[in-house]
Amino acid sequence: MTNLNVAPKEPLETIDLQKPEFYINRELSLLEFNKRVLAQAKDENVPLLERLNYLCISCSNLDEFYEVRVAGVIQMAAIDPKATGQDGLNPNEQLELIAANAHELVDEQYRVLNDVLIPKLKHENIKFIRRNDWTEAQHQWLQTYFNDQLLPILSPVGLDSAHPFPRILNKSLNFIISLTGKDAFGRNSGRAILQAPRSLPRIIQFPAEETQSGPTDFVFLSSIIHAFVGELFNGMTVKGCYQFRVTRNSDFFVDDDAIDDLLLAVQGELAMRNYGDEVRLEIDAMCPDETVSFLLDRFEMTRDRLFLVDGPVNLNRLQEIIVLVNRPDLTFAPFKPVVPPQLARNKDIFAAIKRHDILLHHPFESFSPVVEFLRQAAVAPDVLAIKQTLYRTGADSPIVSALIKAARAGKEVTVVIELRARFDEKDNISLAAKLQEAAVHVVYGVVGYKTHAKMCLVLKREGKELCNYVHLGTGNYHPKTALLYTDYGLFSCDKELGEDVRRVFAQLTSLGKVSKLNKLLQSPFTLHRGIIEKIDREIRHAQEGKIAKIIIKVNAVVEEQTIQALYRASQAGVKIKLIVRGICCLRPGIPGVSENIEVRSIIGRFLEHARVYAFANDGNWEVYASSGDLMNRNMFQRVEACFPIESKRLHNRILHDLDTYLSDNSQSWLLQSDGSYKHLQRKGKEALIQAQTVLLQELQNQP
């Protein structure tokens, strides 16, 4: 790799900003994010059960990384092995680097589990009892449990010509069993496969009174099966039993140009998700190499995608412990999201919005006003119509209940549902059917583009005027994730903004063209160009000696043209602060290119999810919130809404929030030029600043 600490010799205006060494590989950046998540599991300042939760999240993230990202790289290696991205790496080079980093990450996950968290949990009297340590009473209880609860539903498959290797479900728990002896028909295949039904709990709690166990003693399902698997093979001898798990390509493709019915196409693809191409194999580290080779051959995988693990092959299921033990002293202190005073004092939410724009910052502030907005709209006689986008909303959502109530009350209700919200497709199909049964007008967005914008429009007659009340957000209409993700939501009855939202809905439902919008920036049409134009304006201001600064807070920075625009701005002297939770392909600190760019990532109790674009504009700050990140898909392949925060009071509040994030010296990680991250620590007697804690306290104490 080029030495990035040596200033380029050529004049700035001739530097080729497309040089591969100026970009960080997207997949490696995503693995770096997962390392930061795992670091929370090692942080002594984080409550113990939350540390276990972070470990599980890092494992879940890695699952999705292989299901989607690695699967895509593998496909590209087969289709066009010489293809390169902005970082100059071809697919096979990427796979080699991914394998090295992923194996390092997995090794660390199991080290943290076995050497750090399990001993600490044991100290708190939360114990995982190994087979060798079972007491006689525990063994007897587990024998009965196996015979009564497991044996009747387990179906081992002996491998021979009449019993081919079974289809293995994506991410399911399986066992490969080595056998000697003959079965009742005189067969001796030597191997069998046992699939553990997903309905079975992966962690079983010992009943204290029946087994003389501690109040929070547990045993893994895999341990029980290992101990008693011989019961399934009467007359034969089990020589070995080893758990394994296969991860499959779970991204699906719908050919937008070749389908007549998007709903049927998505349903058809969902049926195949559990049986996509194999992309990763996890096996018990104690498994003999001969058996490992057998499985690799069966799944046609090379050893770079093999992970030999010292513990359960699916650490995600350890999250069950957090609920089972009921130890609030080992979790984050509970908090109650507050309702902003202007809404708490006024029961009529429309009157409050009419008075002035209202900004919500979740999860510090409650999501309940969004639900109340729709509930009041559903019953208000002067509300004529409601239009809503839904990307992810959750089962039994109060948002959906309000929309159904409105439709049954005779109001015109239109909902744009994105069927292809990854891993929520099945729920969204059910949601669409539920809404249609209530006579809601349901459309599935635009063929070829995911509808990712977060918009709600209520049309209300007030006297002789028809008023537009809107809610625009950076996150999904999902009450549960609103307690876990940081997002902004804006209520407004601004006439031009409301007209923009109405036009976008008309575009999504009628497929007609939208005339020029007043205030919204919308992808795939004006968002990308608008962001570039605002960066270019900061460049001009810097060249003219005016105030020039950019602060951007997003989940990912990938799109090449935007990165190059930021590089040009840095060269011109614009001070740029980026707060990027996850992927960042921009490389900061390159002499002559990105010296004026700082990139940090905040990893804390809440998942940072809000997207904010702020431009100094010579002291007249412009602040936008958006549903979209700086990614190709958000700019060109999705419908996104980026909305201005025009109230000076509100945009100053967002600027204050951004300054708080930029002052964090506890949960902040600074991106280095080599693509690694440095955990920022407070210096000496410097006051401890945790941005999320500060914002929580400020909003809890607002007058």
Q: Angle 346-348-350 (CA atoms, 0-180°, nearest 5)?
A: 115
Q: End-to-end CA distance of the chain: give it in Å, rounded.
A: 54
Rounded CA separation 607/482 (Å): 10
Q: If we measure between CA atoms, which residue out of 406, 619, 411, 643 comes closest to residue 504?
A: 643
Confirm if 176 and 242 have CB atoms less than 8 A apart.
yes
DSSP notation for 45-56: TS-HHHHHHHHH
**Catalytic entry in 361, 362, 452, 471:** 452
For β-strands 638-644 and 450-451, DSSP reports them as parallel
Rounded CA separation 489/611 (Å): 11
For β-strands 668-671 and 677-679, DSSP reports them as antiparallel
Q: Which pairs from 323-329 meet CB under 8 Å and 24+ separation?
A: 324/203, 324/205, 324/216, 324/218, 325/49, 325/126, 325/216, 327/49, 327/124, 327/126, 327/216, 329/47
Q: Using DSSP, state whether 692 is helix, strand or coil.
A: helix
Structure tokens at 273: 């998700």
Structure tokens at 127: 């114990």
Is there a catalytic annotation at residue 139? no
- Residue 158 pairs in a beta bridge with 192
Rounded CA separation 447/651 (Å): 35
Residue 697 contacts by C-beta under 8 Å, 6 or more apart in sequence? Answer: none
Rounded CA separation 250/272 (Å): 9
Residue 154 contacts by C-beta under 8 Å, 6 or more apart in sequence? Answer: 194, 196, 197, 225, 232
Confirm if 671 and 581 have CB atoms less than 8 A apart.
no
DSSP 14: G
The residues that are catalytic are 452
